[in-house]
Amino acid sequence: MSVQRPFWTGESVYLGDVFRLTKGRSKFARAALSSQKFGWELKLLINDDVRQTQVCRSHEDIEATADRWKAALYQEGWGVKGRRGDTEP
């Protein structure tokens, strides 16, 4: 993963989602990545409610945190929306 952190201007900048998962037809989870004063902030949102946040100082931190959150969600029955329903990648 290669994420370029913009020059810090005092304002957080949304950089995109690291992953998106679904559970059933009405639950959506995503890991949203933003710039942050000390690196990047990764937020786990479920239906746009923040459930966890983590400040990451490296690309490896971003990947490790996202992988840990995704694994925990898979254990709870979350999946990636595919053509035939929810499946693991």
Convert the pLDDT of each residue in 33-54 to its tens digit.
999 888 999 999 999 999 999 9
Is the pLDDT at 82 greater than 60? The verdict is no
Is the pLDDT at 86 greater than 50? The verdict is no
pLDDT in tens, 50-77: 999 999 999 999 999 999 999 999 999 9
Element holding 7 (H helix, E strand): none
pTM tops 0.85: no
Among the listed residues 60, 83, 85, 78, the one whose alpha carbon sits nearest the alpha carbon of residue 19: 78
Structure confidence at residue 9 (pLDDT): 82
Answer yes or no: are the C-beta atoms of 28 and 47 closer than 8 Å: yes
Structure confidence at residue 84 (pLDDT): 45
Structure confidence at residue 81 (pLDDT): 64
